[in-house]
Structure 1
């Protein structure tokens, strides 16, 4: 097996509220091999983005990481002093945030913002050197006329261009791990394909690892080597991408895959997952998916099921697994 660059062990992130502490991420364990892509998929509110912010130690108050470890090459990021963690961000682990227009400063030029990211980690570099490197970074992400774009402002660029700028900023210091949180949100399919191709090319050139966070299963199928499916703050299923798509073993994964059209199948109707995600302050005592699951039986409500091996490197948190992937959700026994 490929050596893990990042290992997340039992991560729990909570928020204080009038009803006590609410867990947005609850006991998540994942690993990211060197040079590989881990796709994290799930509905909005399942904890994907909060997981990435926990790794970066950017959880907004009143949230906090309550338990677990985040090991980058064996070093626990959660125990580092703040100054050391600031040095890790950008240099070793970088992040592309969900909406570039809110992540880029509207009153500073594109070039100034890229140089600022470089200057934070290389304070001795001169202005001319930083300028040349920032322009080279823009060219690296296939932005045409990078010298001119260097002087422009975020509002002067298209959505696809702004996303490329965010990638250029993230890769400015050649990180070992790139966390891409919904990198193709709100982009049309042509630009989306260009951004994904760009990430693949840059990964091939640099050997970096990628955590790709998305709700788009098509993006995951195209990009990821391994996949983790999250539901209500926990990992419902994880394994090689091929196994997840060809032989899903959790009813939630079955529902997600059954809700999208496929070119290799003829179906008059798509499947739908009944109900809605339970609020974090009113989670069921057993399996969190049980109230929506057509496979649920009485033991499902007794205790949260742990992830367990179904096949080689393929795990699912379901007491009824293995499940035949050919079963329709509406025809569960």
Structure 2
């Protein structure tokens, strides 16, 4: 749907990167096709998300003032939200044309308390996708709560559209336009990470809640015990043997005792369990090879990409290939 405009916007920046001290006028003939692509990109998103879940959204693209903007972006704005003062969903294009980063974001000049990801700590950091402009109020790298990179040349926009939907769900939930019942399991996990504010008055309640969650999360009981024995008390990905952080991960989400079958489980270290739930870590159903999402390719988790699961020696205890296929196809849990 939007691959053409995405790639042409990247191509423009590849051929015309921002140069310090040199500006391009917004009236220049050079940028007229860029504005046309931005407008088309915006219009296609509006056609797709205009009245999303009953909420009328606004769609804007970067126009600059007298000078053409260094960072091209297209924003999806809920009611009463502005790029300069609000929470919204945005696609920002890399200043060198290598792709774009998309997700929930907050105003650079008027932050709203999102738990943003620090993508760039200093000017010395080199990012694959860099969306920091020349001015302080146009440095967008660190304004995203759930940034995901999409690289040139974009062949299929389905992953981008899916990420925009997830991001919209989270923003609309934060702003009170949808309830938790409108969110998927993955999105509920994300809301707890992105939007939960610390309240020092509730420390004791939080301590009790966390203790309950850890107990539930570990899957105390027969399911976890079976997986511990099946995997020889080792994480299937990292090989960690620290039992306190080994958890029973479901391939197909828990739906009664029948899903607590050893073939529907994998023993994972707590952090890897979370990434698996968020589908940032995947498993090939034929080879049991581990794949990691592009957003993790420059993280400490890159060492697991292409690695094979440490499988139980007993075939009957190994993960169900059919369950993995179903999980990968339907993107569940």
TM-score, normalisation: structure 2: 0.27
RCO comparison, higher one (Cα < 8 Å, 6+)? 1
Look at both structures and tell me which one has the larger radius of gyration over its CA atoms: 2
Q: Which has the higher strand share?
A: 1
